Amino acid sequence: MITGDFTMDDFIWRALVAGLGVAAISGPIGCFIVWRRMAYFGATLAHAALLGVALGFLFDVRINVGIVIVCIGVSLLLAALQQQRKIATDTLLGILAHGALAAGLVVLSFMESVRVDLMAYLFGDILAVSIKDIIWIYAGGTACIIGLCALWSRLLAMTIHEDLARVEGVNVSWVRLFYMLLIAIVVAVGMKVVGMLLIISMLIIPAAVARQFAKTPEQMAILASVIGMVSVGLGIFSSLQWDTPAGPSIVVIATLMFFLTYLLPTQQKAS
């Protein structure tokens, strides 16, 4: 329960500020995941994040840096394997996702001197965020928003018709890789809030809800951020009220909002 204690209040505000920051950047990035049907790719990066955590501990670097490096590596490996055209993309994603997750667990098992709270990494620990975590979230989030704004028109063109975008001069391969980098950064900054297994839900659920109401891509991006922020606020409140895990509570609220949209009249959808 929320009390008047100063430490508890400070504790809650840090969680709220961190969660709102992740929701703000997840919404617009997630819109393209929904439009381009990349949910499985996002889940692959989220699973691979555990290997980034393990390598961060192994080489004594910031965990977030390790996650970004691994996610970029997985993205580049996927792009290279897709060029071979020997195995279907969904099969490659399954192999990379579970292979990286298993590798992360194996690496952690060899580091007996390191105590790792796997539950916090898998499902988040938003109520334990620090000022440094908040700085990382907002610095990484700002970089993502700037990058997305720079790519916006080209990503939209690729989403509408990739071959036509290529004819019009869009470097499809580089834009795709840069967008994968943005997803990797979101996974890294959002891990503390909802965990690596649930971060993909913060990318796709608010965007899916916003799609029911938005009439333009820009409206959908803004609405997705707002819906994600509402989910964070209600999720933290319900976690404190009923003593439930904060990260999963946020996702449950977002999921309920998604299903509630189907009780409303159908709206014109964006893209």
pLDDT per residue as tens digits for the range 59-98 = 888 888 899 899 889 988 988 887 877 888 889 999 999 9
- 5 CB-near residues (< 8 Å, 6+ apart): none
pLDDT for residue 134 is more than 70: yes
- The pLDDT > 70 percentage for the chain reads 94
d(CA 265, CA 244): 32
pLDDT score of 2 = 45
Q: Look up residue 269 and give its DSSP letter.
A: P
Tokens of 143: 């970089």
d(CA 97, CA 27): 23
pLDDT for residue 268 is more than 60: no
Burial 206-225 (b: 16+ CB within 10 A, else e): bbbbbbbbbeebeebbbbbb
Mean pLDDT on 236-253: 93
Is there a contact between 187 and 197 (Cβ–Cβ < 8 Å)?
A: no
pTM: 0.89
Banded pLDDT at 1 (limits 50, 70, 90): very low
Tokens of 16: 């709220």
Q: What is the pLDDT of residues 167-195, one digit of tens each?
A: 999 999 899 889 988 998 999 888 888 88
d(CA 249, CA 251): 5
Q: Hey, what domains does the chain have and what are their CATH numbers?
A: 8-199 (1.10.3470.10)
Query: Which of the residue ranges 5-19, 20-34, 97-111, 188-202 would you say has the lowest mean pLDDT?
Result: 5-19
Q: What is the pLDDT of residues 18-75, one digit of tens each?
A: 999 999 999 999 999 999 999 999 999 999 999 999 999 988 888 888 998 998 899 8
